[in-house]
């Protein structure tokens, strides 16, 4: 089988069956490309994952582009990105086409009245989970609090928060490095 086609199918399959967002896709991508196809070594995959997480954009797409590039350069990366994105594109487009028609239906309205606050809770939970993994201490807890308040109360664009936080980390790192080198 042509390697492009094979890589496309692998990504398409993963894109079809991973419910629950990009993070759920990572172990499947590893299983497929590292364990089964052996196209990428375990260590390479760990490096790719770390880099994909520090780049902006959709994590699963970033990983797919990395793997595709390793396999067959730019054409390979287009193949894997397309394979990863296509299933959700088709499914959501289908839903969008139909949802418009019955979203005003009374039953659907009632169902979504229950779902909406629950979804807001599902967005709130990772805040507490991530606070643990991101090593939030009393010294840096002002960063998430100030960021959230600026966006929520003052309508500041998250883009500015991203730029400021990145810049802050960069400058802080440069200063601490200098004092350590002395």
Partner 1 sequence: MSIYLQLFLTFFKIGLFGFGGGYGMLSLIQNEVVERNGWISASEFTDIVAISQMTPGPIGINSATYIGYTATNSVLGSCIATFAVILPSFIIILTICHFFSKFKKNTDVQHIMQGLRPAVIGLIAAAALLLINEENFVDYLSWIFFAGAFLLNKYCKVHPILIIVFAGIAGFIVYGVF
Interacting positions 5-34 with partner 1 (CB under 8 A): 15-23, 25
Contact pattern for partner 1 over residues 132 through 161, marking x by CB under 8 A = --x-x---xx-xxxxxx--xx--x-xxx-x
Q: How many CB atoms lie within 10 A of CB 64?
A: 29
Q: Measured from the CB of residue 112, what is the shortest distance to partner 1 in angstroms?
A: 6
Taking the least distance from each CB to partner 1, the nearer of 1 and 39 is 39
Beta carbons of 108 and 100 less than 8 angstroms apart: no
Beta carbons of 70 and 39 less than 8 angstroms apart: yes
Which residue in 6, 37, 69, 72 binds partner 1 (CB under 8 A)?
A: 69
Taking the least distance from each CB to partner 1, the nearer of 18 and 34 is 18
> Considering only CA atoms, which of 30, 36, 19 is closest in space to residue 66?
30
Q: What distance, in Å, lies between the first and last C-alpha atoms of the chain?
A: 59
Q: With binding defined as CB under 8 A, does residue 40 bind partner 1?
A: no
Tokens of 179: 């004092």
Question: Max Cα separation, the chain?
Answer: 70
Which residue in 34, 40, 60, 71 binds partner 1 (CB under 8 A)?
A: 60
Contact pattern for partner 1 over residues 79 through 108, marking x by CB under 8 A = --x---x-xxx-xxx-xxx-xx--x--xx-
Which residue in 7, 10, 77, 79 binds partner 1 (CB under 8 A)?
A: 77
Burial category of 70 from C-beta neighbours within 10 Å (exposed 0-12, middle 13-18, buried 19 and up): middle
């Amino acid at each position: 089988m042509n390697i492009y086609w094979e890589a496309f199918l692998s990504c398409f399959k993963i894109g079809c069956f991973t419910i629950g967002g990009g993070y759920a896709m990572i172990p499947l991508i590893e299983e497929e490309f590292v364990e089964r196809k052996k196209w990428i070594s375990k260590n390479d995959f760990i490096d790719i994952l770390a880099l994909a997480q520090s780049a902006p954009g959709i994590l699963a797409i970033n990983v797919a582009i990395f793997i595709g590039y390793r396999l067959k350069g730019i054409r390979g990366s287009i193949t894997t990105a397309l394979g990863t994105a296509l299933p959700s594109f088709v499914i959501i487009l289908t839903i969008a086409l139909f949802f418009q028609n019955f979203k005003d239906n009374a039953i659907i309205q009632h169902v979504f009245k229950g779902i909406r606050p629950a979804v807001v809770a599902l967005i709130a939970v990772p805040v507490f989970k991530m606070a643990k993994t991101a090593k939030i201490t009393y010294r840096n807890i002002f960063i998430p609090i100030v960021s959230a308040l600026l966006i929520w109360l003052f309508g500041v664009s998250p883009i500015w928060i991203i730029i400021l936080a990145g810049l802050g980390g960069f400058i802080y790192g440069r200063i601490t490095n200098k004092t350590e080198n002395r």
